[in-house]
Amino acid sequence: MKKGIDTRQIHVKAGQTLLTPIELVLTGVESRADVRIGQGAKVVIYDASTSDLHGVDVTLEAGSNLLYVSLSFASTRTFRSTVADGASIHWHCTTIGNAAHDHSLISICTGPNAKSDIDWIFAVRGKERQSVSVRNIFSARNGGGEITLKGVAQQKAHAVCNGMIEITEEGTGTDTYLTEDVLMLDATAKVDAIPGLEIRTNDVKASHSATVSRVTAEDLFYLQSRGIDEKTARTMFVDGFLSDLTHSMPDEMLRDRVLSVLTLAL
C-alpha cells in the first residue's frame, strides 16, 4: 500500500449471493479499491467514497453478476471493469459537480456473452465543470450492453459528455447502444455531447444518439401560470428528464439514496 492512499479489497467467493449491498466508503486525498467477483457470484456494491481521487478496478469471473452503484459529490472517479464469459456488470453512477472534475470509466467484455451496462447521471451548476468519459469495449463474440449518459447543466456550468463503443475483430455478434442526453436549465450553461463508435468487425448491432435540450422561459411560464413556483417547476423538469435512470435501479434502498441526493443538489 502506498503511503497516504486509502485502499480496500473486496473479493467475493465463487457461487455466493449477497442479499445486502456491500458499502464502500474510502476517504482521504486518494483511494483505490480492488474488486473481484468469483464465478457465478451475485453482488451489489454501494460506493460513497469521498476521496479527492478515487479509483476502482473490478474483475468479474465467468457467470458472475454485479450491480455497482457509485455516488459522488466531490471526487474524481476512475473506474475499470473486466467482464469474463457469461458475466454481467451494471454500473450506475451519479456525480454531482463541485469545481472541476474529470471522470472516466472503461469496461471491457473479454469473454463470450459478457454484458456491460453503464448508466451515468451528472449534474453541474454555478461555474462548475464536469467531464464524463465512458467506453464499452467488446473483444469477444456475442457481447452486449448499453451506455446511457444523462446530465443537467444550469447557470454558467459546463458539462462534457463523451461516450464510446469499441468492438474489436473478435467482437462478432455484439449488440450494443449508446445514448447521451443533456438538459440545459439556463441558456448560459455550456454542453458538449460527443458520442462515438469504433467497429472493426462485421455482423454487429451498434448505434448511438446524442441530444441537448433546453428548458425555456416559456416552459417555466407555462407551469408558473398554473400556480407552480419557478424552483419547483425546474425540479419537475429535472425529475422527469432523469426518471428513466433513477427509477430503473433494481435496488430500492439505493435508488432512494440517489434520489434524495439529487433532490438536494438540484
pLDDT tens for each residue of 173-213: 999 999 999 998 888 999 999 999 999 999 999 999 999 88
% the chain with pLDDT above 90:
68
What number is the average pLDDT over the span 118-137?
94
Confidence of residue 149 (pLDDT cuts 50, 70, 90): very high
What is the predicted pLDDT for the residue at 232? Answer: 77
CA dist 242 and 259 (Å) reads: 10
Residues 82-97 have pLDDT tens digits of 999 999 999 999 998 7
Averaged pLDDT of the chain: 90
What is the predicted pLDDT for the residue at 266? Answer: 63
Domain boundaries, the chain: 5-215
Contact 161, 151 (CB under 8 A): yes
CA dist 28 and 212 (Å) reads: 36
What number is the average pLDDT over the span 29-47?
97
CA dist 113 and 106 (Å) reads: 18
What is the predicted pLDDT for the residue at 250? Answer: 75
C-alpha torsion sign, points 187, 188, 194, 195: negative
Contact 59, 35 (CB under 8 A): yes
Burial (CB count <10 Å: 0-12, 13-18, 19+), residue 48: middle
Residues 210-236 have pLDDT tens digits of 998 887 667 776 677 777 877 777 777
Confidence of residue 243 (pLDDT cuts 50, 70, 90): confident
Looking at the predicted structure, is the pLDDT value of residue 261 above 90?
A: no
What is the predicted pLDDT for the residue at 236? Answer: 78
Burial (CB count <10 Å: 0-12, 13-18, 19+), residue 114: buried
CB neighbours of 152 closer than 8 A, spacing ≥ 6? Answer: 122, 123, 124, 159, 182, 183, 185, 238, 241, 242, 266
Q: What is the pTM of this model?
A: 0.92
Confidence of residue 75 (pLDDT cuts 50, 70, 90): confident
